[in-house]
Structure formats: structure tokens, C-alpha cells
């Protein structure tokens, strides 16, 4: 099941990349198609990584609150701060990928 899910994600990331490179009518010998494809893959991996990281943070926080209900406030605060930091890194990665993909020669 996990292999099928990862194969699906990989297909969803790579299929639009090839279509985007071909639809623009750009010459792949200049490297622009590869650059746009790499930027799309990078943005996709950033989003997947951020989603997975925030999911693990949420799961860990729920487990910690279940073990120590009296520390709910501290755990929630730490969870929100960590999730915000992960979102910031993911947003930075997406912005860098967009800057790379919109770069023209």
C-alpha cells in the first residue's frame, strides 16, 4: 500500500512537470524545461515534507497530552511554534522553487 501511495505521489509530481515543459514550447536543449521540472519537483517535495512533519508534530502532541494532561498548555504552545517554523521553511522552499522556475535567460 505504501509503495502504491509513493508511486502515485511521484506520478502526480512528474506528470505535470513534463506537460508544463512541453506546453511552453521551450527548447529542452537550453535547460529551461529541466529547470522548471526541477523547481516543480522541489516545490512538491517541500509541501510533502512539511505535511509529513506537521503530521508527526500533531501526533506527538496528542500522544504527549494523553500521557500528561496537566501539561496541555506547554505542549500546545511548543507544537504551534514548531509547526510555524516548519511552515516557514516550506514556504521559503516554495518561493525559491518559483523564483527558479520563473527565471528567464
What pLDDT, in 10s, does the model give residues 39-72?
888 888 888 999 999 999 999 999 999 999 999 9
CATH class of the region 39-105: mainly alpha
Task: DSSP letter for 70, please.
Answer: G
**Largest CA-CA distance found in the chain, in angstroms, rounded:** 61
Residue 18, C-alpha cell as written in the block = 513534463
∠ CA 76-81-85 to the nearest 5 degrees?
145
Q: What is the pTM of this model?
A: 0.63
Banded model confidence at residue 20, pLDDT cuts 50, 70, 90: low
pLDDT digits (tens, 9 = 90+) for 71-85: 999 999 999 999 999
Amino acid at each position: 500500500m505504501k509503495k502504491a501511495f509513493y508511486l502515485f505521489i511521484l506520478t502526480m509530481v512528474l506528470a505535470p512537470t513534463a506537460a508544463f515543459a512541453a506546453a511552453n514550447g521551450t527548447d529542452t536543449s537550453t535547460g529551461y524545461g529541466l529547470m522548471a521540472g526541477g523547481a516543480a519537483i522541489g516545490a512538491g517535495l517541500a509541501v510533502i515534507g512539511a505535511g509529513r512533519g506537521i503530521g508527526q508534530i500533531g501526533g506527538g502532541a496528542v500522544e504527549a497530552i494523553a500521557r500528561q494532561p496537566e501539561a496541555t498548555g506547554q505542549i500546545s504552545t511548543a507544537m504551534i511554534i514548531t509547526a510555524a517554523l516548519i511552515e516557514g521553511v516550506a514556504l521559503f522552499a516554495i518561493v525559491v522553487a518559483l523564483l527558479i522556475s520563473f527565471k528567464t535567460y
